Amino acid sequence: QQQVKQSPQSLIVQKGGISIINCAYENTAFDYFPWYQQFPGKGPALLIAIRPDVSEKKEGRFTISFNKSAKQFSLHIMDSQPGDSATYFCAATTYNFNKFYFGSGTKLNVKP
């Protein structure tokens, strides 16, 4: 049973558009939610992360929206660029950071 469910599996967005990737979880003990970006042939790299005590976190063009009651969180990429084309993973972990649970990934393609 997957602890974190991610959608969509793939996404095509025009340059300048908004990319939105969604994740949902069940375990209410999760209290840290990072997003990772992965380019082909490379390992994932931390993009942005949020804790459930805030509803939104923004870093440049990347924003996480968090809905604690719905147990959902999403990544918004504003003004999407071709260089943003990559696979994105959401994840969740509990306070001790022992085990991270990843979503299944979203392959984003930003068309020029």
CA dist 33 and 105 (Å) reads 14
Asked whether the beta carbons of 75 and 61 are under 8 A apart, the reply is no
Minimum Å distance from CB 14 to another protein? 26
CA dist 97 and 102 (Å) reads 13
Segment near another protein (CB under 8 A), from 14-22, 41-49, 60-68, 69-77? 41-49
Please pick, from the candidates 12, 45, 54, 78, the single residue that binds another protein as defined by CB under 8 A: 45
Which stretches of the chain bind another protein, using CB under 8 A?
2, 4, 6, 9, 32, 34, 41-46, 49, 89, 91, 93, 95-105
